[in-house]
Amino acid sequence: MTDPRQPHGDVRNPRIPSRSPDRSPMLVGLVLAIVLIAISVGLFQLLRTPLEESASSTNPTTTVASGDTTTTTPTTSTSTTSTTIVVDPFEAVGNPLDLSELALVADGIGPIAFGTPEAVAAGQLVATFGDPDEDTGDIISTGEYGACPGDGVRVIRWGPLAIVLRAGLFVGYRTDLTYGGVADAPSTLLSTLSGLRLGDSIERLEEIYS
């Protein structure tokens, strides 16, 4: 005989919801950590392979066999690039000029005026002073010697005197004791029309131009 107070079958109280099993936060964190580690290892392998291939391609090795022993040594190669400026020296032109004729004036050096063809201007100075102490050949100016940066020039120097050639012409000169070769350079004796020489004192300058 059935007790009317007991429910028949699997009858649950509808007011009490069913309870799902709890998920452990620790378990979820562990799974995420494993996934991140796996991704990191994969990326490391992918990045390491190209680097190893690059290193092996840029560092070739030479294998030398000697008897039963094989030795592998790195092969290195070096290359050196040098630039040589070919200078075609100027030949002497005419007879040597007297130093008194080579006054340092605003438009040249004595009879050698600006605009004179370079072979003539340089040749007359070669005839007077001999072979130059320095000849740069054709170079690109960096602003020295009064030439504009970027201009193609050639600078020839005798002691403290340097002349500037550009586009096949004599275009300028400079005198500077720091160029060297002053002790025995005849060009040290060059002077202005008033007689002022390179290296003269301030007193001498004031005496001449007072």
Whether residue 85 is contained in a domain is answered as no
Does 179 reside within a domain? yes
- 117 and 64 in a common domain: no
Residue 205 and residue 104 share a domain: yes
| Statement to judge: residues 159 and 198 lie in one domain | yes
Q: Do residues 126 and 172 both lie within one domain?
A: yes
Q: What pLDDT does 108 receive? A: 97
pLDDT digits (tens, 9 = 90+) for 90-109: 999 999 999 999 999 999 99
Q: Look at residues 152, 151, 174, 169 and name the one whose alpha carbon lies nearest to residue 112.
A: 169
Distance of alpha carbon 56 from alpha carbon 54, whole angstroms: 5
Q: Indicate whether 40 and 128 sit together in one domain.
A: no
In the chain, how many domains are there? 2
In a shared domain, residues 69 and 103? no
More confident residue, 10 or 141: 141
Structure tokens of 130? Answer: 């001999």
Confidence of residue 61 (pLDDT cuts 50, 70, 90): very low
Query: What is the model's pTM?
Result: 0.59
Residues facing 128 on adjacent strands = none
**Length of the chain in terms of residues written:** 210
Name the percent of the chain lying above pLDDT 90.
44
Q: Which domain holds residue 149?
A: 99-209
Instruction: For 4-30, write each residue's pLDDT tens digit.
Output: 555 555 545 555 455 555 556 666 666
Task: Look at residue 60 and tell me if it is in a domain.
Answer: yes
